[in-house]
Amino acid sequence: MHQLLRTRVNDFAVKLANVNGTGSASANGLLMQAIFRMGIPVSGKNLFPSNIQGLPTWYEIRVNKDGHTARALDYDLIVAMNSQTYARDVHEVREGGFVLYDSSWPLDKTLIRDDVTYLGVPFAQLCNDHFKDPRERILMKNIAYAGAMIAAIDVDMEIVTQLLDEKFSKKKSLRESNLTALKLGYDYAKENFQCPLPFYLEKMDTTADKILIDGNTATALGCVYAGVTVAAWYPITPSTSVMDAFRAFCDQYRRDPETGKNNCLILQAEDELAAIGMVIGAAWNGARSFTSTSGPGISLMGELLGLAYYAEIPAVIMDIQRVGPSTGMPTRTQQGDIMACAYASHGDTKHILLFPANPAECFEFAVKSFDLAERFQTPVFMLADLDIGMNDWVVPRLTWDDAYRPDRGRVLDLAEIEKLPKFLRYTGEDENHVASRTLPGVHSKGAFFTRGSGHNKFGAYTEMPDEYQDVVERLLRKHKAAAKFVPAPVIQHREGARVGIVTIGGCDPAVREAIDLLPQRGIETDFMRIRGFPFDEEVEAFLNAHDVNFIVEQNRDAQLRSLLTLETGVAKEKLRSVLAFGGFPLSAKNVIDGILEQVGEPTHAIHS
């Protein structure tokens, strides 16, 4: 069957089907990391269940020499290690592709396709022969298939050995058993199959200045660098690893070398209502503070987000979006919280949103979130998602400017308070419509009563229409002013394009790939990735400059498009939707199909 596939170097996709809780994650991660170290553009997508042990889990590796590493939907090789999903997995391999499976047991005849090649390795048998402990037999089976993969696609064995050395530097016996298992699979494949397969790896030099990191780790690191001293959270997938990483970084960087004290306090709250309350309390008191959560947490935080908005207290919320509504699918990705965050809470509320597209932006935007929250004295949401947050991405090395100092916004210090005849909380707005605040514990002249109830510009309780409106109208102006401060959209023009593709967050690589492929179908498009809300004029200008804009996002209700319709003056007819919201990371195919479906056969109007 080999002849069905033309030989391809550094351009293919592999899907690994496993049972969760068996240790497959470390085998898959090992392969991904080895390819990264070979200098080849690569991505790894973990499609895992909301379960501890026993349910199907997949891992997809895509290598692409041109840097297109969004999720591929056609797989050249399936590593079928889960008999529960054999049928589905075998079905997904592309015509002429390969299926690597455990041949310790015969394959059911119904699973045989005549257009794919089956590579059977008796993994279970090999491991049973070489390892005694039942748990070890299961774990090592995974390392054994990694060994077979290494032979099949030509992963650099030296790099793999080096990775194992690093990983097990303190556990020599584990290093030995891993190497044994690796060799079992590797040798069997070498002896029994024509290795490498028609698609294989060759070293490149594209990743020397890059790192392999997940978004949640990068977000946590951003919070450390931003100077956070109080964090509060309630465990929720897929945001939990933000706080896990934050705690680990605090152990590393926030233990005072002189006193041994912790220069950060992490509160595991009783629920998300409490978590956001703690953040608001800490920020009211002058600490940089954040919470990490996901959709259900956002719903619970609603009431207090309105309090922070109305009483003008900074707060940073890291929302790692998952599939809703309700409990939804906790381990699947979506961009379904855009509207919920933009207008979180009852009454007239509007918030500042940041949309990172990858872990590097998670780091950068995490820091930015605190500057904006304090500059504008308001909640700021950073909306990542499960794909960005929990998958390892290849991104440029993170950089830091040691000259950075936090923008604490307008906070009066002791000398400034003493000089005032009288402190009146919501008076004296600056060009961004922000008034000065004071912190407790500085001077009694700075004291005021923070309240979520109706207040006038002096901070005093009111039920009078004009006094109430005066304040909330300023809040609206303040929100608008933030448009200039949120990260600007990323815009790329192509010669002759009259169609725009607009997207957000983790859709970025799939959309970019689609834009590169669409000209083959006769469609030239310009690209805009929105990175912040409120929208700046540049966003509106882009939309207006194109006859048609396809808004690509991962939710059913076209939430970004809705927000653009509500918050810009662009004609609704100019905005069309391409939606993919089933819960897996976006693929360029989703985008291309979605656009072609709407434009039909390319016309002269579109390909000008």
Residues 439-468 contacting another protein, CB under 8 A: 439-453, 460-463
Q: Which residue has the tokens 């407790």?
A: 440
Among 172, 261, 419, 604, binds another protein (CB under 8 A): 261
When the beta carbons of 6 and 422 are compared against another protein, the nearer one is 422
* 265 touches another protein (CB under 8 A): yes
Length of the chain: 608
Residues 92-121 that bind another protein (CB under 8 A): none
Beta-bridged to residue 71, according to DSSP, are 587
Stretches 84-92, 174-182, 225-233, 376-384: which one binds another protein (CB under 8 A)?
A: 225-233
Please, what is the minimum distance in Å from the beta carbon of residue 522 to another protein?
41
Q: What is the per-residue binding string for another protein in 35-64, x denoting contact by CB under 8 A?
A: -xx---------------------------
Mapped onto helix, strand or coil, the DSSP state of residue 18 is: strand
Among 344, 270, 263, 267, which Cα is nearest to 308's? 344
Q: Verify cis geometry, omega within 30 degrees of 0, for the bond prior to 314.
A: no
Among 87, 235, 400, 427, binds another protein (CB under 8 A): 400
Among 325, 346, 404, 407, binds another protein (CB under 8 A): 404
Give the C-alpha separation, 80 to 120, whole Å.
10
Among 205, 401, 466, 495, binds another protein (CB under 8 A): 401
Measuring CA to CA, how many Å separate 52 from each of 49, 239, 323, 386? 8, 17, 19, 17
Among 181, 275, 390, 504, binds another protein (CB under 8 A): 275
Please, what is the minimum distance in Å from the beta carbon of residue 46 to another protein?
17
Please, what is the minimum distance in Å from the beta carbon of residue 156 to another protein?
14
Measured N-to-C along each axis, helices 134-153 and 24-37 cross at an angle, to the nearest 10 degrees, of: 30
Q: Dihedral of the CA atoms 417, 418, 421, 425 (nearest 10)?
A: 10
Measuring CA to CA, how many Å separate 93 from each of 78, 87, 144, 196, 510? 6, 11, 21, 18, 20
Give the C-alpha separation, 139 to 362, whole Å.
33
- The alpha carbon of residue 534 and the mean position of all alpha carbons in its chain are separated, in whole angstroms, by 21
Q: What is the per-residue binding string for another protein in 116-155, x denoting contact by CB under 8 A?
A: ----------------------------------------
When the beta carbons of 257 and 569 are compared against another protein, the nearer one is 257
Residues 419-438 that bind another protein (CB under 8 A): 438
Among 77, 232, 412, 481, binds another protein (CB under 8 A): 232
When the beta carbons of 225 and 343 are compared against another protein, the nearer one is 225
Please, what is the minimum distance in Å from the beta carbon of residue 314 to another protein?
12
When the beta carbons of 272 and 536 are compared against another protein, the nearer one is 272
Buried b (16+ CB within 10 A) or exposed e, 113-149: eeebbbbbbbbbebbeebbeeeebbbbbbbbbbbbbb
When the beta carbons of 50 and 161 are compared against another protein, the nearer one is 161
When the beta carbons of 17 and 282 are compared against another protein, the nearer one is 282
When the beta carbons of 105 and 404 are compared against another protein, the nearer one is 404
Among 354, 333, 230, which Cα is nearest to 291's? 230
Beta-bridged to residue 607, according to DSSP, are 497
When the beta carbons of 110 and 399 are compared against another protein, the nearer one is 399
Give the C-alpha separation, 554 to 510, whole Å.
12
When the beta carbons of 26 and 603 are compared against another protein, the nearer one is 26
Among 26, 84, 194, 285, binds another protein (CB under 8 A): 285
* 488 touches another protein (CB under 8 A): no
Listed in sequence order, the residues at least 6 apart from 471 whose beta carbon sits closer than 8 Å to its beta carbon are: 426, 455, 456, 457
Give the C-alpha separation, 532 to 525, whole Å.
22
SS (H, E, C) 298-359: HHHHHHHHHHHHHHCCCEEEEEEECECCCCCECCCCCCCCHHHHHCCCCCCCCCEEECCCCH
Rg (CA), the chain: 27
Please, what is the minimum distance in Å from the beta carbon of residue 568 to another protein?
33
* 5 touches another protein (CB under 8 A): no
Among 390, 387, 388, 355, which Cα is nearest to 369's? 355
Beta-bridged to residue 396, according to DSSP, are 210
Number of residues located near another protein, criterion CB under 8 A: 76
Q: Which amino acid is it at 528?
A: M
When the beta carbons of 2 and 255 are compared against another protein, the nearer one is 255
What region does 227 belong to: left with phi over 0, alpha with psi -120 to 50, or beta? Answer: left
Among 289, 331, 391, 559, binds another protein (CB under 8 A): 289
Please, what is the minimum distance in Å from the beta carbon of residue 438 to another protein?
8
Please, what is the minimum distance in Å from the beta carbon of residue 504 to another protein?
25
Among 569, 563, 515, which Cα is nearest to 67's? 515
When the beta carbons of 39 and 295 are compared against another protein, the nearer one is 39
Residues 178-217 that bind another protein (CB under 8 A): 211-213, 217
Stretches 56-64, 82-90, 270-278, 568-576: which one binds another protein (CB under 8 A)?
A: 270-278
When the beta carbons of 285 and 598 are compared against another protein, the nearer one is 285
Among 406, 519, 583, 602, binds another protein (CB under 8 A): 406
* 229 touches another protein (CB under 8 A): yes
Among 278, 504, 563, 579, binds another protein (CB under 8 A): 278
Stretches 110-118, 219-227, 489-497, 540-548: which one binds another protein (CB under 8 A)?
A: 219-227
* 26 touches another protein (CB under 8 A): no
When the beta carbons of 133 and 271 are compared against another protein, the nearer one is 271
Please, what is the minimum distance in Å from the beta carbon of residue 339 to another protein?
23
Give the C-alpha separation, 42 to 72, whole Å.
11
* 399 touches another protein (CB under 8 A): yes
Please, what is the minimum distance in Å from the beta carbon of residue 215 to another protein?
12
Give the C-alpha separation, 604 to 607, whole Å.
5
Instruction: Enter the tokens of residue 248.
Output: 């680990």
